[in-house]
C-alpha cells in the first residue's frame, strides 16, 4: 500500500506534543511492514533542521489556488531519521510558517487551511496517488472536505481518507472567509448541521467536524477515549456528530518507539537493564539522585513527567508532591507549564522546596533527563483529568517504573490495578488506578503503591517486572491501522 500522512508535526523535526511522536512512530512501523509511507508537513522556520538529512527542492513552482488568486510554493524533501518527508514552503506576504512558533497565531485557521489545500495540490500536480491519505487533528480536518468536494473531480477520485483525532479540545473554528480562500465557496451548503457548521456556534465552521463527516474512517487514540468522546463531555460538543457517524469510528491505542525507549540500550542512562537484570535499575536511581542533589537514602522515588496544565490534573500533581514527602518518599518533577498562573504556582513551590533534600522540581523539559527519571524512579503519577492515550505511563512501564494513574482514556487501556483488576490474573497486573478527581482518591492509590514498596518489596519488584513484559510498541497499532486502511480501500 502507498500511504501519505498529512500532519502539522512529525517528531523529532517538528514536535509540540504527542502528535509528532505518533506520526513518526506509526509511519516507521508501517514501512517496516513493507508499505510505502510519505509524510507532508509545513516548512516552519523554527523546526529542527539538524534532524533532516539531505534536504533539497523536490518540486518548484507549485501554484496553489488561494483567495481568488494563487500562491507560489516550493516543496522540499528530506529524510527524518529514515522517514521520507516533504515540506511545503509558501512564498507570500502572510508568511504562514515563518512565525517562530508552530501554533498560537491569530490566523492559525488560515495557516492550516492553506497547508491542507497545498498538500492536496502537491499530490495532484506531482501525480502522487496514494491508496490512503491519513490526516491528523483539526489542522488537517479540511483535507477530506477538499478532497471530496474539489480534488475528487480533478483526478483524485480513488484516494481514501483516515482521520485521527488526538485531542477533541482544539477543533479549529473559522468563518465564511475560509470558504472563499480555499475555493470551497457556497456558504449556504457548508453552513449545515450535517456538514461543517459547528454544533454550538451557527456562525462557525468546525474543521474537526469536517474531518469526521467527510473521512472514510475516523478514530481517536485509545478504545476507552473513543467511548468517552462518544458518550461524555470529553467529545467537547462533537458527541452528536460522532454518534451520527459511529459506524466509521474506532479507538486505536498509540504505541511508543521501542528503539527510542529501551532501558536495555538507552544512550541517556548510565546503566542498561532488562526484566532479567532488574536489580541494575538501582544504579540509575543513584545517578538521578546524584544529578539532582537528592539525599542518598533507601526510600522510594516518585516522579511526574509531563506538561503542567489542567488536562494533566495539575492540582493532583501538586498534592502528590507533598503526600509522597509526608510518606517518607522522594519526589522528582519534570515539566513546563502551559499557563502563566500554573507556572507561577509551581515556581513558588520550587522555591519553597528548594532546600528539601528529598525533592526536586525541574520546570522545563529536557529529553535526556526524562530518560534518566523514567529509569531511576520507582513510581510515576499520572492523575489526568482526561487523557486520550497517554505516553507517560507506557514509557514508565517499559522502564519498570510502576504507574499510579487516574482511570480515564488510554490510561484505562494500559494500566491494570494490582489489587482490584478482576479481568486480569495477578501476574498480568501492572500498576494502581483511582477514579475520582479529589486528593483522597489519589492518596489511596499512591498509598497502596508505597505500602507495597515498604512492606513487601519483592512483590513491588515483581509488579514492576510485570509492567516491563507488556508490549506497547507500534507493532500491534500499526497492524490495526493497516487493517483500517484496507477496509476503507475495499469496504
pLDDT at 143 over 80: yes
d(CA 105, CA 455): 53
Give the C-alpha separation, 84 to 4, whole Å.
Answer: 10
Mean pLDDT, range 380-406, rounded to an integer: 97
Q: How confident is the model at residue 365 (pLDDT cuts 50, 70, 90)?
A: confident
Cβ atoms 403, 430 nearer than 8 A: yes
Nearest 5°: CA angle at 403, between 399 and 406?
Answer: 150
Model confidence pLDDT, tens digit, residues 396-409: 999 999 999 999 99
What CA dihedral angle connects 338, 343, 345 and 346, to 10 degrees?
100
Give pLDDT tens digits for 15-55.
988 899 999 999 999 999 999 999 999 999 999 999 999 99
Q: How far is CA 455 from the centre of its chain?
A: 36
**What's the alpha-carbon Rg for the chain, to the nearest Å?**
23
Q: Output the average pLDDT for the chain.
A: 96
User: In 10 A of CB 108, how many CB atoms?
Assistant: 19
CB-facing half-sphere around the CA of 55: CA atoms within 13 A:
15
The pLDDT value recorded for residue 146 is: 98
Per-residue pLDDT tens for 303-326?
A: 999 999 999 999 999 999 999 999
> In this structure, what are the phi and psi dihedrals at residue 348, rounded to the nearest 5 degrees?
-60, -45
Q: 356-382: buried (b, 16+ CB within 10 Å) or exposed (e) per residue?
A: eebbbbbbeeeeebbbbbbbbbbbbbb
Nearest partner of 417 among 435, 443, 400, judged by Cα: 435
Residue 490 in this model has a pLDDT that exceeds 90: no
Q: What is the pLDDT of residues 103-126, one digit of tens each?
A: 999 999 999 999 999 999 999 999
Closest to 448 (Cα-Cα) out of 411, 408, 421: 421
- In order, the DSSP letters of 142-209 are HHHHHHHHTGGGGT--S-EEEEEES-TT---EE-THHHHHHT---HHHHSSTTTTB-SS-TT-EEHHH
Percent of the chain with pLDDT over 70: 100
Q: In whole angstroms, what is the distance from residue 261 CA to residue 9 CA?
A: 20
248 is in an annotated binding site: no
Residue 203: pLDDT over 90? yes
How far apart, in whole angstroms, are the C-alpha atoms of residue 170 and residue 157?
30
pLDDT digits (tens, 9 = 90+) for 78-103: 999 999 999 999 999 999 999 999 99
Q: Are 247 and 230 in contact (CB under 8 A)?
A: no
Separation of alpha carbons 18 and 166, rounded Å: 8
In the prediction, which pLDDT does 447 show?
98
Q: Contact, 211 vs 186, CB < 8 A?
A: no
User: Rounded to an integer, what distance in angstroms lies between the CA atom of residue 295 and that of residue 283?
Assistant: 15
Which of 394, 353, 357, 360 minimizes the C-alpha distance to 477?
394
Q: How many CB atoms lie within 10 A of CB 37?
A: 23
Written as nine digits, the cell of 413 is 487501556
Residues paired with residue 178 on neighbouring β-strands, in sequence order: none
How sure is the predictor about 461, in pLDDT bands with cuts at 50, 70 and 90?
very high
Alpha-carbon span 192 to 295, nearest angstrom: 62
Q: Reduce the secondary structure of 161-175 to three states and give it as a string.
A: EEEEECCCCCCCEEC
The average pLDDT across 281-301 equals 97
Query: What residues have CB less than 8 Å from 440, skipping those under 6 apart?
Result: none
Query: Which H or E run includes 477?
Result: helix 475-489
Find all residues with CB under 8 Å of 226, minimum gap 6, and list them. 219, 220, 249, 250, 251
Helix (H, G, I), strand (E, B) or coil at 47: coil
| Residue 281: all three cell numbers together | 535499575
Q: What is the C-alpha to C-alpha distance for residues 84 and 428, in angstroms, rounded to an integer?
A: 39
- The pLDDT assigned to 17 comes to 80
491 pLDDT more than 80: no
Give the pLDDT confidence score for residue 259 in this predicted structure: 87
Amino acid at each position: 500500500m502507498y500511504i501519505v500522512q498529512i500532519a502539522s508535526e512529525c517528531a523529532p523535526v517538528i514536535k509540540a506534543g504527542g502528535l509528532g511522536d505518533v506520526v513518526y512512530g506509526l509511519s516507521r512501523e508501517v514501512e517496516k511492514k513493507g508499505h510505502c509511507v510519505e509524510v507532508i508537513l509545513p516548512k516552519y522556520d523554527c523546526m529542527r533542521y539538524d534532524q533532516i538529512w539531505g534536504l533539497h527542492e523536490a518540486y518548484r513552482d507549485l501554484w496553489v489556488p488561494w483567495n481568488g488568486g494563487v500562491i507560489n510554493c516550493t516543496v522540499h524533501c528530506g529524510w527524518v531519521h529514515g522517514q521520507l518527508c516533504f515540506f511545503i514552503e509558501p512564498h507570500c506576504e502572510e508568511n504562514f510558517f515563518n512565525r517562530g512558533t508552530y501554533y498560537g497565531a491569530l490566523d492559525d485557521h488560515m495557516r492550516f487551511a492553506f497547508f491542507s489545500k497545498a498538500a492536496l495540490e502537491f499530490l495532484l500536480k506531482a501525480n502522487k496517488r496514494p491508496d490512503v491519505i491519513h490526516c491528523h487533528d483539526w489542522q488537517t480536518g479540511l483535507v477530506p472536505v477538499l478532497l471530496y468536494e474539489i480534488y475528487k473531480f480533478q483526478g483524485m477520485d480513488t484516494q481514501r481518507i483516515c482521520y485521527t483525532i488526538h485531542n477533541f479540545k482544539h477543533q479549529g473554528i473559522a468563518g465564511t472567509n475560509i470558504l472563499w480562500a480555499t475555493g470551497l465557496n457556497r456558504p449556504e451548503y457548508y453552513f449545515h448541521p450535517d456538514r461543517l457548521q459547528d454544533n454550538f456556534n451557527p456562525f462557525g465552521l468546525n474543521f474537526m467536524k469536517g474531518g469526521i463527516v467527510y473521512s472514510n474512517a475516523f478514530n481517536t487514540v485509545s478504545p476507552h477515549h473513543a467511548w468517552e468522546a462518544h458518550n461524555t463531555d470529553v467529545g467537547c460538543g462533537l458527541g452528536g456528530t460522532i454518534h451520527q457517524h459511529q459506524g466509521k469510528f474506532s479507538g486505536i491505542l498509540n504505541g511508543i518507539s521501542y528503539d527510542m525507549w529501551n532501558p536495555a540500550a538507552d544512550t541517556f542512562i548510565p546503566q542498561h537493564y532488562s526484566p532479567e537484570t532488574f536489580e541494575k535499575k538501582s544504579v540509575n536511581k543513584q545517578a538521578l539522585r546524584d544529578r539532582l542533589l537528592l539525599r542518598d537514602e533507601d526510600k522510594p522515588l516518585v516522579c511526574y513527567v509531563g506538561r503542567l496544565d489542567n488536562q494533566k490534573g495539575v492540582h493532583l500533581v501538586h498534592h502528590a508532591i507533598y503526600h509522597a514527602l509526608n510518606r517518607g518518599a522522594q519526589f522528582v518533577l519534570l515539566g513546563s507549564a502551559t499557563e502563566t498562573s500554573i507556572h507561577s504556582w509551581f515556581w513558588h513551590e520550587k522555591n519553597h522546596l528548594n532546600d528539601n533534600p528529598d525533592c526536586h522540581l525541574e520546570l522545563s523539559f529536557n529529553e535526556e533527563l526524562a530518560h534518566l527519571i523514567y529509569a531511576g524512579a520507582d513510581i510515576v503519577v499520572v492523575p489526568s483529568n482526561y487523557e486520550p492515550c497517554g505516553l507517560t505511563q507506557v514509557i514508565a512501564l517499559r522502564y519498570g517504573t510502576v504507574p499510579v494513574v487516574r482511570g480515564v482514556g488510554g490510561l484505562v487501556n494500559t494500566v491494570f490495578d494490582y489489587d482490584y483488576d478482576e479481568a486480569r490474573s495477578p501476574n498480568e497486573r501492572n500498576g494502581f488506578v483511582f477514579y475520582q478527581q479529589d486528593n483522597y482518591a489519589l492518596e489511596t492509590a499512591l498509598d497502596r503503591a508505597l505500602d507495597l514498596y515498604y512492606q513487601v518489596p519483592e512483590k513491588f519488584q515483581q509488579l514492576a517486572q510485570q509492567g516491563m513484559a507488556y508490549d506497547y510498541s507500534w507493532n500491534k497499532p500499526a497492524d490495526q491501522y493497516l487493517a483500517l486502511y484496507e477496509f476503507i480501500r475495499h469496504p
